[in-house]
Structure 1
Amino acid sequence: MTAFDRGLLGHRCWLELATGERVDLPVDRWTAIPCEGDEVLLDACDGPTLDVGCGPGRLTAGLSERGVASLGVDISATAVRLTHDRGAAALHRDVFDRLPGEGRWRHVLLADGNIGIGGDPHRLLTRMAELITTGGTVLVELDPPGRGLRQDRVRLRPDDGAWFTWAWVGVEAIADLAARTAFRVAWSTSHGHRWFACLEKA
């Protein structure tokens, strides 16, 4: 269950790590219209795009408004409903389940730190390679330089959610990860406090 299903929209919430460390979640940004830095992702999508972990659908809807065919995917039924409310298409499904158009998507979005889905970025990018066409791209939002690759057990707070595994990938760690998963880094950039990379399928 996610922040969306737990009714935490509009409230301050965070991930609590097993170490006791706290990572604040930018819920307000997720529920807003496309905002600072989002254009980096949106401008890079010129064909059918799958928005993995779409949340309330700001990017899925943003692409639709630009005339780009897009589909959001999220494990949260509430997030999918919110995406539909924006007039965009979305499926309530796990990205590791069967999805429409496998092997034919031009782009996949892993925004808002969704490279951490499942706690195993190698497995996730291997799955992304199955979803996109040859020459397609995965647009990834990353942590700032110096963070490396990190995996940890986390839970959603202030609610007493169940523990699950998440991962974080710093911008300096993406090239090695890409090379081990049939991708190469086409470019990386920053916008404000946010970092991004474009991974091209070999």
Structure 2
Amino acid sequence: MFDQALRGRPSWLDLPGVTSRELSVARWQADADDGDAVLLDACAGPTLDVGCGPGRLVTALLSRGVHALGVDVSPEAVRRTTARGGVAIRRDVFGPLPGEGRWRHVLLADGNIGIGGDPAALLRRVRRLLGPSGTVVVEVEPPGSGLTVGLARVRTADTCGQRFPWAWSDAESVAADGFFLLWQVERAGRWFACWERL
């Protein structure tokens, strides 16, 4: 169902007990915007974009001369990333990935801290991908939002997908063992945080 959103079809993410959220499909399809600049400016070396979607951040980093690789489980995401000039592979972040232990930065944009429904487990995996003093740059919920975990599904106007584990979290509620929080900032109505690997 994420493929429908990647193709630009209006889509919503449903999580039981929480108001449905419309996915930012137009932003995903567009070039990187002012909010994305926070993510891009934080990446000065080899960067892995986990859950890269249609590749706007990968291509923006490449245009800045930064080595970047997108990773996504969706073949549509990989196809769209490569079509716009980026580099991406179809993989699960919890499976084997190129350059493990050598990446300078890992991006978790567009709510991708929710992948797998367990932000702490995801950050433990990311820590193994990063080299010493590497950073993970994350789009998070506004401060005070807390942690919400459940079985989500992607829905269009006429179709509902299967449920999968997902989470939404603010920076304060993420159990980031083995990391040090460097900064947290709001830009264009979105919140971002950066942790450095200890």
Partner of 2:163: 163
Of the three residues 12, 15, 18, the one matched with 1:17 is 15
SS of the residue corresponding to residue 173 of structure 2 reads helix
Q: 1:85-96 alignment to 2 at 5 Å?
A: 85-96=83-94
> In the comparison of the two structures, how many residue pairs are matched?
196
| TM-score normalized by the length of structure 1 | 0.93
Alignment-mate amino acid for residue 54 of structure 1: C
1:72 to partner: Cα distance: 0.1
1:139 aligns with 2:137: yes
Alignment-mate amino acid for residue 169 of structure 1: S
Partner of 2:106: 108
SS of the residue corresponding to residue 107 of structure 1 reads strand
Q: Is the 8 A contact 2:55 2:70 kept in 1?
A: yes
1:201 aligns with 2:197: yes
Partner of 1:40: 38
CA RMSD of aligned residues (A): 1.3
Of the three residues 132, 149, 152, the one matched with 1:151 is 149
Partner of 1:66: 64
Alignment-mate amino acid for residue 2 of structure 2: A
SS of the residue corresponding to residue 21 of structure 1 reads strand
Q: What are the ranges of 5 or more consecutive residues in structure 1 without an aligned counterpart? A: none
| TM-score normalized by the length of structure 2 | 0.95
Deviations 1:48-70 (A, max 9, x none): 00000000000000000000000
SS of the residue corresponding to residue 2 of structure 2 reads coil
Partner of 1:3: 2
SS of the residue corresponding to residue 200 of structure 1 reads strand
Partner of 1:75: 73
1:20 to partner: Cα distance: 6.6
- Counterpart CA distance in 1 for 2:6 and 2:88 is 21
Of the three residues 169, 179, 183, the one matched with 1:183 is 179
Alignment-mate amino acid for residue 127 of structure 1: R
Partner of 1:31: 29
Deviations 1:12-43 (A, max 9, x none): 21012223731111111011100121110101
